[in-house]
């Protein structure tokens, strides 16, 4: 029987949230819980860190390791990925799962479909490069890219390491839409209140949210 690689996760919670007016998006509530709490519960792994710069005390309630971008602060989500890979290597892990902190409806058990790494989610025509698994062994390659300022695009680095894509359904509670604006936040809260998320009204809300 094949043994799956040891998997750990990092939630990328360091975005500036400019379209939301600033602040920590992952701490906003949807459906009675923060988006960060929803991500932690959907991931369902014992080892989950949070990637964010600034005062770590604002995430203290989650009792998770906090990872700052360090020397690569300001270089976008790839800096958070590198911090996660470095942390994962210290745990002896072989694979790192990354998830943005602004996806409130992640499906339970999705992480196992993204093995073996590197694999990322695709819904319809949209590739979600930050909902992905990464081999911890790619850390030094990423560090070199950042040091040489070769790229700040997650898609570019994903292509470099041969990322594969796993299809997930577009319309369901398994959708992987980010909450980027106040309008999308309002839609997500409406969707969370839907008692039957398979009916047309819920589907219409979700289609608008996913645009």
Write out pLDDT tens, residues 66-98.
Answer: 999 989 988 899 999 999 999 999 999 999 999
Whether residue 3 is predicted with pLDDT greater than 60 in this model: the reply is no
At residue 17, the pLDDT reads: 61
The rounded Cα 124 to chain-centroid distance in angstroms is: 18
Which among 13, 171, 33 has a CA at the least distance from the CA of 79? Answer: 13
Chain center to CA of 29: 17
On the question of pLDDT at 140 being above 90, the answer is: yes
Could you give the C-alpha distances from 123 to 126, 176, 179, in angstroms and in order? 5, 8, 16
Top pLDDT among 67 and 200 is at: 67
Is residue 108, in this structure, part of any structural domain at all?
yes
For residue 32, the model assigns a pLDDT of 95
Check whether 199 has a pLDDT greater than 90. no
**Cα end-to-end span (Å), the chain:** 42
In a domain, 66, yes or no: yes
Q: Are 201 and 194 in contact (CB under 8 A)?
A: yes
Token code pair at residue 20: 């939301």
Residue 192 lies in a domain: no
Read off the tokens for 145.
Answer: 């890219």
DSSP assigned state of 117:
S
The answer to whether residue 136 sits within a structural domain is yes
User: Between residues 151 and 117, which one has the greater pLDDT?
Assistant: 117
The pLDDT tens digits of the residues spanning 166-190 come to 998 765 554 788 898 898 899 889 8
In a domain, 207, yes or no: no
Q: What is the mean pLDDT of residues 54-59?
A: 93
Q: Dig out the tokens for 43 from the structure.
A: 């991931």
Contact 40, 55 (CB under 8 A): no
Computed over every residue of the chain, the mean pLDDT equals 87
pLDDT of residue 207: 62
**Among the ranges 83-87, 152-156, 189-193, which has the highest mean pLDDT value?**
83-87
State the pLDDT at residue 175.
Answer: 76
Residue 182 counted as domain residue: no
Q: Give the CATH number of the domain where residue 107 resides.
A: 3.90.550.10
Q: Is residue 93 part of a domain?
A: yes
Q: Is 73 exposed, middle or buried (0-12, 13-18, 19+ CB in 10 A)?
A: middle
Q: Which range marks the domain in which residue 129 is found?
A: 7-172
Determine, yes or no, domain membership for 2. no
Q: How many domains does the chain have?
A: 1
Separation CA 42–CA 109 (nearest Å): 7
Task: Please report, rounded to a whole number, the percentage of residues in the chain having pLDDT higher than 70.
Answer: 83
pLDDT, residue 193, reads: 83
Residue 44, classified by CB atoms within 10 Å of its CB into exposed (0-12), middle (13-18) or buried (19+), is middle
Please tell me the distance from the alpha carbon of residue 199 to that of residue 211, in angstroms, as a whole number.
Answer: 19
pLDDT at 23: 74
For residue range 91-118, what is the model confidence (pLDDT) as tens digits? 999 999 999 999 999 988 899 999 999 9
Q: Which of 22-26, 94-98, 124-128, 205-209 has the lowest mean pLDDT?
A: 205-209
Backbone angles phi, psi at 47, to 5 degrees: -110, 100
- DSSP letters for 14-30: ----GGGTSS-GGGSEE
């Amino acid at each position: 029987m094949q043994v799956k690689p040891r998997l750990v996760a990092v939630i990328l919670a360091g975005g500036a949230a400019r379209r939301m007016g600033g602040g920590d998006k992952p701490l906003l509530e949807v459906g009675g819980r923060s988006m960060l709490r929803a991500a932690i519960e959907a991931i369902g792994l014992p080892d989950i860190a949070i990637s964010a710069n600034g005062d770590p005390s604002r995430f203290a309630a989650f009792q998770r390791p906090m990872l700052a971008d360090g020397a690569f602060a300001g270089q976008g989500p790839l800096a958070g990925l590198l911090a996660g890979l470095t942390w994962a290597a210290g745990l002896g892990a072989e694979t790192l799962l990354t998830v943005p902190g602004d996806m409130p409806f992640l499906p339970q058990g999705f992480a196992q479909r993204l093995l073996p790494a590197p694999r990322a989610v695709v819904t319809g025509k949209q590739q979600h490069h930050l909902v992905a698994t990464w081999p911890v062994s790619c850390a030094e390659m990423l560090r070199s890219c950042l040091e040489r300022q070769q790229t700040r695009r997650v898609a570019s680095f994903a292509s470099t390491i041969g990322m594969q894509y796993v299809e997930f359904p577009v319309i369901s509670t398994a959708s992987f839409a980010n909450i980027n604006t106040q309008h999308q936040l309002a839609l997500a809260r409406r969707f969370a209140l839907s008692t039957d998320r398979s009916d047309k009204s819920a589907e219409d809300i979700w289609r608008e949210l996913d645009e």
